[in-house]
Each structure stands twice: as structure tokens, then as C-alpha cells.
A and B are shown apart, each in its own frame.
Chain A
């Protein structure tokens, strides 16, 4: 689908002369202190990529504000100077969503890492954006936890999680970041400060809070975040079962889910990933297994007892080659290690790989896996598969050798075709990594030009000059245009009888 029309114009600032950031840099130094502004070329280079190293852009300056007021001053200065900015937490994202802009300012929020309040009675935690994901769970331990647990949770920040609407291994049961954010303090791209929601639920008005979470840094900078935490489950039961093929394991997933069981986590690996991970971890996964299915139930002792028995019975009935039940926490960790090492271990199979993040309706798994196999053959590449099986989120890893240009090109094409196969099956181009720069070219597979134009209306309401993380998410740059006409007050409103929204 082509995206063109009168709305589409050059990216704001795309063809301008290189900007002299000098005057702005002085203002940034005044705002946050000279020691928190980075301008030396070699230091700037350390910020050139996020977690997706294929993309690298050296920013014009990096600034590290230490407070909401400093963020406001920085954003305000960028606004007045007409300079775009990118806000970043740990920079561990996997879609190039925090990729800097040349001649732009990169705002690193890692100095803002205070946990401002822990209110266990009300099960709320209030944090600055640079607080790591794991720190929230640690702050409410041992009786509570913060459910979203992306695999980068030791380093990734809550601010980044809000931008990406991060999930994790337990989101089939517990949901995503958006389900746990009850309030946000935001610095809008013009430097204005607003608060959406707070400790309380259900603020009146449209769902601005829900619209901001997952907006990938394009609507402003979150400077304070209210989160809901939950009591820790009474018990956790974990098993890994091995099957002849992913399709067979996929049928087991369907059977578990259709019997009304909602596992805390349900993860699958194919043979290639098992081999790679086993080499790396020695977790004891049989390397000849066609698929490994990790199932974890959590909740009350009484409920888990009954349900875990059902899961074991389903696996046995469906012809599992073997089933390993974790007998203690150490064994549970070992089983998880086998799964969590899958990405890192892929380096043993090939020097480079593309990770896709597509989602499919779970019932289409067999068909889509078949299509992925076909594509791997067609492009003569190895494709390993790791899935969050409960919610149909696939992470196909397309392996290649980047020093071979032909292979690299085939890998990129193959990865694109896999995304298309998932969208054609009724799915999505990304389940948790975000669109960023990496997947924006796939957006037209999912959304029409009109859909994208409607997204743009939201963008323009928050950021009419599009200075907050421009060039991300949307496949083609679009302008905002003026808001038509001066605002007219309705007579009823004049009389104080009706409200504006």
C-alpha cells in the first residue's frame, strides 16, 4: 500500500542545513549544569544506538536532567530553538525507538531514578522515569510485586516501559505496562506540565493516559509515574514439557487455555533455539526435542494444585516425550534459564540475526509456523523460533552472516515476509518491542492511510511541531497543519452551563 497524498510532505527539518546547536547548548548547560551536558564527539558516540545496534545516529548533544523542572527547561529550550529531541531511559529498546536524531538533543533520564513514594496500603508506587523495572518489584518485596517483567528488567527503566508499553513473560495473565500505570506527570513538547490520572483510578474525560502509554516517546516526556503493584502469588508451579514439534506443542497450549486455565507464563522454543540455549546454559533441555513448552502457574495454593495437575495430564495425553516439574526454586530458575538464554545463545548459530516481534491469533500457529518454514527454505536461511505462546507473540530469529551482503539482504527480505505472514493471519507487526524506526515500514501492512492520518491527529494534539522523537512510528512524515479557526465558545459554555471537552 502506498502512502501518499496531499498531507505527506518532507519530514520536519529533514533537509535543513546542519544546525548550529551552540546557543542551545549554552542554555542546556545553564538548565542542568555543564557537567550534565555531553557534546564531545567520542562521548556522543556512546549514545548513538539503543538496544538495536543496526541503527546508529550520533546526536548533536546529550543532556542529563535531574528533575522535572530541569526536563521542562531542556524541552522548553529545544522548543524555542526549534530543535527536535529524543528522550531515553536505559536505551535497551529493541526497535530503534530511542535512536538519536542528528542535530537533535538526546535527553537521558537515567539520573532521575528516585522512588518517590511506596504506599503499600494502597498498592501504589510513585517513581521517576529512570527507575529500573526490577527496582519497583524490589521496593515492594517481599509481599508485593510489579507484574510487567520484560527480559531486560534489570536495566530497563519505567520511563522506557511506559513509552513502549512493555510486556514480559507473564503478560498473558498479568497484562502490560498500560494495565499498571494509574498516573503520569508529563512534560509536553512545548514544555508545559500536565498530570494525567494519579493514584486514583478512572479520572474523568477521554483516556489520555492509555493513549500516552506505548506512544514511543512521540507525545512528550513522562517525568513521574504512578504504578499499581499486586500481592505476590501464594505459590508458583513450573514445568517444562518436550514435544516432537512446535505444532504439537501449540495444540497443547490451545488445550490448556481452552480448559479455562490461565497460566502465569507459557513459553515455547523450537529445536534450533533449544540447541543454541542448551549449549550455552546446560539447563538440561534434550537437544533432540522438536519443541520445549514451559508452563508456569501461579496464584493460590488450592487453585494451583488442581490446575497444575490438569496441565500435567494434558501434556501427557498429548504425547509429551518428557515432562520436568521444578521441585524447588533452584530448578525453576534453571528451567527459566533455558528459555531466557535463547536470544543471547543465538550468537552460537550465526553471527547476526533479525529478531521479529509479530503477533498472531494463537489458533493460527500451525499455519504460520508452516509458512515460516517455507520462507526459511526459500531464502536458504536458518530461522529459530521463540514464542510467548499464550498471547501468540512470536520472536522468529532470522540468522545470517552480516559479512556476506547477499545473505544479509536475503535475511532482511525473509524477516519482512515473516511479518507479512503474521499480519495476513490477523496479527500485528509488534507485540512488545514497539515500532520505532525498525518496523515503521511495516505499518502500512496493518493500517490504511486514513488510520495513520487519525494517529497523526493525536500526535498533533500533543506535539503540533513534531519535535518529540520525530521519524519514529509513522511510516511517512506528515505535517500537522493549523487547527482550523479560532476556538468559538458555545453560548452554553459562555453561560457556564457546559464544559469545553
Chain B
């Protein structure tokens, strides 16, 4: 409530932030910054119901630790770096688990927000199935806090897989990587993750399985890949996938494309000496360039794909972070006018 009052009282433009791990992604230039750091309570963890209610400022890692004690997880695994749940929701951040469990919008079942005028309102609830009222929680996913401050988030949880195993198929041929990804994403296997990686001229497709039969499933994937490595102690592999979605001081571009675009994105990464990671079965990719011709990469990606600049070096003009469709931009603006008519939140 303190945050709502501060928001209402603020004289000037405001940005609400969590742990400030993704500030470079925002485009606004606020007069005032408000933090969610006092909203750090895990309000509920309903073990039997596989749900939880978290205040916006709760660090994701702390929540995950708590859930893990009960053999559960919030199936949201963006690069951590101390990020809060509120920040992950506001920026629609995600990690490799997206392949199996969906993204933020698939995991959030309710929300409490403070609007710019101090109005505190909730939507959804804390049950996993609920169609009462508008799903405003989903509206706030990816909103960058510009429709209101996220105060509290209700999420659905999933059981932690008892074991994991990953099949890794390596190739330096972009088309072979594309074929491998297609074969796996269409196979009758239930992957926990299906990722691509390209770095320094070497590529890989990673298929991760979890559950009572993680090993046998990974073996089946390895057979599909042909010549593949089987990794049981696979956490490090996936940590590296997450890490490549960030760059300290360099450039990260997120690309919304298709799975069939994978070979072209690998070639693009090769040409620009960038690191590529992504959800091979879903067509979401991250290109990272720690040092090099940033502008050339941004131009090349934008020329062919729908993309947004996330992390970026000082001095690089990151361009807009808004929907590609002009009608969607107009509609987003109409929503903004209703939720924050004074355009206080930037």
C-alpha cells in the first residue's frame, strides 16, 4: 500500500523497479524511481494446491528455494542475477523451461496492482483454473510497469523433476542444426527443454528431459540425433544457456521468429560473431555480442525478423520496444490512456 500511496503522490514521471537487473531494457527516462524492495514477502505457498502468492519484490531465487523444499518449482528460469518476480513478470523474461511450461503469462494466475492514481485492484485469483473477469494479470505481463505497479503475483507451481538428463547433438552446419531441432520438436517425447546454441563456429542442439524416466527419454533423443552426447549432470549446460541471454556491457537482441528460421539465425550469428541461444522448438532466440559491430548486428536482425534490443552498450540507440503491428501499438496506447491518463509511468 505504501507503494500505491507513493505512486499517487509522485510529482513527475515514475518508474517502478525491482532489483534493477534489466534497467537497460526499459526506454523511459523517469523523474522518480520507486522500488518494490519492501514488498518481499512470500505471502502464501500452498503446497497441496501447487500455488503461491508472492509480493513483487521477492527475489526469484528465494522463492525457488522455498518451493524446492517441498519438491516444487515455479517453472520460470530466466537468468537470475538477483531478479525479482515482479521484474520478471513486467519484462516477460523467461528461460529454457519455456519449452515445457510456457512463459510468464502461462504461469501467473492472479495479480494485485497499483495504478498511477493509487487505485489498488486485483484480478484473477489463486486457483489454477479461473475465467472470472478480465485476465488483467496477462495484460501486465511485458508491460514494463507502464500500466501500473505490480504489487503481488499469484502463480501456479509444478513438481520438481526428480532427475534430469540431456542429449547434446553437435554440428557446425546450420542446416543440420535446423533439421535436428525439427526432428526433436516433432518427436513424441516430452522435453523439459529444447535449445539451440551457437558460439565460436560450433553449434549444438540440447534436449533435456525430466521425470521418472529422464535417462531413457534422453537416450531416445540421442538416437534421433545420431551422434549425440548424453549428459546426466546437466545443470551447467543449461546455466550457460541462460547466461547467454545477458551481456554485461555488450548487446543482447531477442528475436521472435519461428523454428524453421533456426538455420538462418545461426548463419546470422556466425557472420556477426555473435553467440546464439534459443528455444529451438518455439522460435525464440537471443543473440549476444559482447564486443564487436553492434549496429551491424542490430540492422541485420531488424531487417529480417521481429526483434527487440535488451541489454545494450552505452551509446547504442536501442530503438523501440513495442508491438510490430501499428494497430496493436494504437490499442496499447488506448489501454495506457485508460490506466494511466496522466502518463506518469514511463
- Chain B residues 170-207 with CB under 8 Å of chain A are 182, 185-190
Contact between B283 and A122 (Cβ–Cβ < 8 Å)? yes
Contact for A435 among B133, B216, B336, CB less than 8 A: B133
Given known contacts A461-B338, A498-B27, A234 and B332 CB-to-CB distance under 8 angstroms: no
- Chain B residues 215-237 with CB under 8 Å of chain A are 216-217, 220
A147-189 toward B: CB 8 Å interface, digit per residue (1/0)? 0000000000000000011010001100110110000000010
A398 within 8 A of B: no
A8 within 8 A of B: no
B302 within 8 A of A: no
Contact for A461 among B51, B121, B331, CB less than 8 A: B331
Contact between A171 and B129 (Cβ–Cβ < 8 Å)? yes
Which residues of A are found within 8 Å of B257, using beta-carbon distances? 200
Which residues of B are found within 8 Å of A430, using beta-carbon distances? 130-132
B82-96 toward A: CB 8 Å interface, digit per residue (1/0)? 000000000010100
Contact between B129 and A207 (Cβ–Cβ < 8 Å)? no
A477 within 8 A of B: no
A74-82, A283-291, A448-456: which lies at the interface:
A448-456
Contact for B131 among A232, A306, A435, CB less than 8 A: A435
Contact between A207 and B141 (Cβ–Cβ < 8 Å)? yes
B146 to chain A, nearest CB (A): 6
Contact between B329 and A428 (Cβ–Cβ < 8 Å)? no
B304-335 toward A: CB 8 Å interface, digit per residue (1/0)? 00101000000000001111110111111111
Which residues of A are found within 8 Å of B138, using beta-carbon distances? 178, 207, 209-211, 213
CA gap between A196 and B256 in the complex, in Å: 14
B216 to chain A, nearest CB (A): 4
- Chain A residues 424-455 with CB under 8 Å of chain B are 426-435, 439, 443, 446-448, 450-455
Contact between A260 and B135 (Cβ–Cβ < 8 Å)? no
Contact for A302 among B28, B131, B213, B335, CB less than 8 A: B213
- Chain B residues 128-173 with CB under 8 Å of chain A are 128-136, 138-143, 146-147, 158-162
B326 to chain A, nearest CB (A): 8
CA gap between A462 and B327 in the complex, in Å: 12
A25 within 8 A of B: no
Which residues of A are found within 8 Å of B120, using beta-carbon distances? 450
B35 within 8 A of A: no
A109-117, A405-413, A482-490: which lies at the interface:
A482-490
Which residues of A are found within 8 Å of B185, using beta-carbon distances? 123, 231
Contact between A194 and B334 (Cβ–Cβ < 8 Å)? no
A177 to chain B, nearest CB (A): 10
Given known contacts A215-B134, A234-B189, A500-B329, A458 and B338 CB-to-CB distance under 8 angstroms: yes
CA gap between A462 and B332 in the complex, in Å: 10
Which residues of B are found within 8 Å of A305, using beta-carbon distances? 213
Contact between B127 and A392 (Cβ–Cβ < 8 Å)? yes
A486-498 toward B: CB 8 Å interface, digit per residue (1/0)? 0110101000001
B258 within 8 A of A: yes
**A contacts with B: majority SS:** loop
B74-87 toward A: CB 8 Å interface, digit per residue (1/0)? 00000000000000
Contact between B134 and A455 (Cβ–Cβ < 8 Å)? yes
B108 to chain A, nearest CB (A): 9
B303 to chain A, nearest CB (A): 16
CA gap between A429 and B103 in the complex, in Å: 26
A273-281, A333-341, A359-367: which lies at the interface:
A359-367
A100-111 toward B: CB 8 Å interface, digit per residue (1/0)? 000000000000
Contact for B337 among A360, A388, A461, CB less than 8 A: A461
CA gap between A488 and B344 in the complex, in Å: 12
- Chain B residues 241-286 with CB under 8 Å of chain A are 254, 256-260, 281-284
B212 within 8 A of A: yes
Which residues of A are found within 8 Å of B342, using beta-carbon distances? 484
A85 to chain B, nearest CB (A): 19
Residue of B142, B185, B328 most packed against chain A (CB within 10 A): B328
Contact between B140 and A207 (Cβ–Cβ < 8 Å)? yes
B282 to chain A, nearest CB (A): 6
Contact between A359 and B50 (Cβ–Cβ < 8 Å)? no
Contact between A501 and B329 (Cβ–Cβ < 8 Å)? yes
CA gap between A195 and B323 in the complex, in Å: 10
Binding site for B on A (CB under 8 A): 120-124, 143-144, 164-165, 167, 171-172, 175-176, 178-179, 188, 192-196, 198-211, 213-215, 231-234, 254, 257-258, 260-262, 299-300, 302-303, 305-307, 310, 359-363, 388, 391-393, 426-435, 439, 443, 446-448, 450-455, 457-462, 473, 483-485, 487-488, 490, 492, 498-501
Between A and B, 17 residue pairs with Cβ closer than 8 Å are: A192-B327, A201-B103, A205-B329, A210-B138, A231-B186, A232-B188, A257-B159, A303-B211, A359-B130, A361-B126, A363-B46, A446-B132, A450-B119, A457-B338, A461-B331, A462-B334, A500-B336
Given pairs A200-B283, A231-B187, A302-B213, 9 additional interface contacts (CB within 8 A): A203-B328, A206-B141, A303-B190, A359-B130, A454-B113, A455-B134, A461-B339, A484-B342, A498-B27
